[in-house]
Amino acid sequence: MLVAVLAVPTLRAASAENATVAAKQRAERKTFTDAEIAEGFLKTTFGTEFHLAGRVDRIRKYAVPVRVFAEGGSRERKAQLARVVADIATHVQHLDIGMTTSRAAATIEVRLVRDRDLYPTIKKLYGSERAREIKASLDPQCLSGFRKNDAYEIQHSDVILATDVSDFTFLDCAYEELLQALGPINDTDTVPWTMFNDEVSMGFFDVYDQYILNLLYDPRVTPGMTVEQIKAVLPEALADARAFVRKVNDLPE
């Protein structure tokens, strides 16, 4: 069953892409209170941005190793995607994620397409009616969605990325869509530090979103948990997430 679809609206093209990412990294905020981290986690992991199957107030995540298969695109774009996946693997402690050359082994399929082929690909994946709804509501240039089982375990994700865009836009889309394909599917305009905000573009895996993904993939956080159940385990999970994120990013105590 398809439960959620997330898209990034059309972004302005960026020039000097690597310089843009570097500048954003230098300006990145890296210190947050427990309340700020918890707010972003709860707002991005419950519900969905585009409600194809109604609101779902349960945790959704993978309970198995995640393997990413890329279809289409140039060798360069595939290499960029592989680096994004490796970066996510490095910065999320309890997530087993990597690339695969086998579509059959994939739990995430990434379709690399030209911008003009984005809508036809959405139509092929989700059908004409839903494709029209997505286009009218979001007018995306990249998109992700996932299917879950009755236990709220994500079983398969689909990601569509336009390739004939700037490097910055491609990386921004790749990070956001891959991360949201792992579970935090809900965009929010009330948290200014997360890439899961349509007004925020990063192009890299920022510290704040590392906290969100490390909380989500903490072993104490399991598929199907409610908000109240999450709040009961959040203090210990947050302490462990802080320790790991601090270590992997060489942040001060």
Residue 53 tokens read as 């199957």
Query: What tens digit of pLDDT does each residue of 134-160 get?
Result: 676 665 678 888 999 999 999 999 999
Is the pLDDT score of 18 beyond 90? no
pTM for the model stands at 0.88
pLDDT value of position 51 = 45
Delimit the domains of the chain by residue range: 2-248
- Return the CATH class of domain 2-248: alpha beta
Q: Roughly how many angstroms between the first and final C-alpha of the chain, as a whole number? A: 44
Question: Where are the alpha helices (H) located in the chain, listed in sequence order?
Answer: 17-27, 34-45, 75-91, 118-126, 128-138, 167-181, 207-216, 227-248
Q: Cα torsion at 239, 242, 244, 250 (round to 10°)?
A: -150
Cα 70 from Cα 22, distance rounded (Å): 26
pLDDT value of position 121 = 87
Cα 142 from Cα 9, distance rounded (Å): 8
Mean pLDDT is lowest, of 1-10, 103-112, 164-173, for 1-10
Average pLDDT score over residue span 29-49:
89
How far from 98 is each of 68, 81, 101, 229, CA to CA, in Å? 6, 11, 10, 30
Residue 132 tokens read as 């029209």
The pair phi, psi for residue 19, each rounded to 5°, is -65, -35
Is the pLDDT score of 50 beyond 60? no
Q: What angle do CA 115, 129, 111 make, to 5 degrees?
A: 35
Closest CA to 209 of 79, 36, 56: 36
Average pLDDT score over residue span 63-76:
96
Cα 189 from Cα 38, distance rounded (Å): 16
Average pLDDT score over residue span 120-139:
76
- Say if residues 163 and 77 touch (Cβ distance below 8 Å): yes
Residue 99 tokens read as 């690339």
- Say if residues 96 and 66 touch (Cβ distance below 8 Å): yes
pLDDT value of position 139 = 59
Residue 4 tokens read as 């959620």
- Mean per-residue pLDDT over the chain, rounded: 87
17 against 207, higher pLDDT:
207
pLDDT value of position 140 = 67
pLDDT value of position 52 = 46
Coil, strand or helix at 124: helix
Query: What tens digit of pLDDT does each residue of 168-202 get?
Result: 999 999 999 999 999 998 888 888 899 998 888 88
Our separate counts of H helices and E strands in the chain read: 8, 6
Cα 72 from Cα 201, distance rounded (Å): 25
